[in-house]
């Protein structure tokens, strides 16, 4: 069974990726904490490429990276690539975002997920970007998910990400969309 390193230290992200990649028969593992790739890109795609290539080269193994976040129209796309660094905790990030949107009528937003797969030499073999449009709620709804999920609302389903079952979220999220786009290519790939 081929091993692919997920260029993250987040076990939750690894678990989510395992669901999407289950059919490939890959063994996924977290990158070692000692490897820290600086996210110096100006887009989600650039950061995913940097993380995948950096981890692949450092370990001489296949690596997959995801860079994702929330873009809010009324805030000029913020928090964007700084979504995880917008504040010190999930609750603080949600509170800050709701404060910044308090006097604004436009609540449109989108979650973006960029994926990149690098071979052991650090060359990017495949990449894609998934986008899930939605709206920011006035207050959190639901207890599932993580990050901005309690305030990200999908009008088509009438639910926030935090109110969805894991299967619903997998099917409709930016990450689910990105993996669905990437899977045909990954299925053709024979990893050593």
Q: Which residues are catalytic?
A: 67
| Cβ atoms 118, 187 nearer than 8 A | no
- How far apart CA 174 and CA 163 sit, in angstroms, is 16
Give strand pairing partners of 110: 71, 133
Ramachandran angles phi, psi of 170, nearest 5°: -60, -40
- How far apart CA 2 and CA 33 sit, in angstroms, is 21
| Cβ atoms 49, 122 nearer than 8 A | no
Q: Distance between terminal CA atoms of the chain?
A: 9
| Cβ atoms 4, 25 nearer than 8 A | no
Q: What is the phi-psi region of residue 20: left when phi exceeds 0, alpha when psi lies from -120 to 50, beta otherwise?
A: alpha
Burial of 150 (0-12, 13-18, 19+ CB in 10 A): buried
């Amino acid at each position: 069974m081929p091993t692919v390193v997920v260029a993250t230290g987040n076990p939750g992200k690894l678990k989510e990726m395992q669901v999407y990649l289950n059919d490939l028969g890959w063994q996924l593992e977290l990158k070692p904490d000692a490897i820290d790739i600086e996210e110096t890109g100006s887009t989600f795609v650039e950061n995913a490429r940097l993380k995948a290539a950096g981890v692949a080269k450092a370990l001489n193994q296949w690596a997959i990276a995801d860079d994702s976040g929330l873009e809010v129209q009324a805030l000029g796309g913020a928090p964007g690539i700084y979504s995880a660094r917008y504040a010190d905790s999930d609750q603080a990030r949600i509170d800050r975002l709701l404060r910044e949107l308090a006097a604004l009528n436009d609540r449109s937003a989108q979650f973006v997920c960029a994926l990149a797969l690098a071979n052991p030499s650090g060359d990017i073999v495949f990449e894609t970007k998934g986008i899930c449009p939605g709206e920011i709620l006035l207050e959190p709804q639901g207890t599932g998910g993580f990050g901005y999920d309690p305030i990200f609302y999908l009008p088509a389903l009438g639910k926030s990400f935090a109110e969805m079952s894991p299967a619903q979220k997998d099917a409709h999220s930016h990450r689910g969309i990105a993996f669905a786009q990437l899977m045909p290519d990954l299925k053709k790939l024979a990893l050593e």
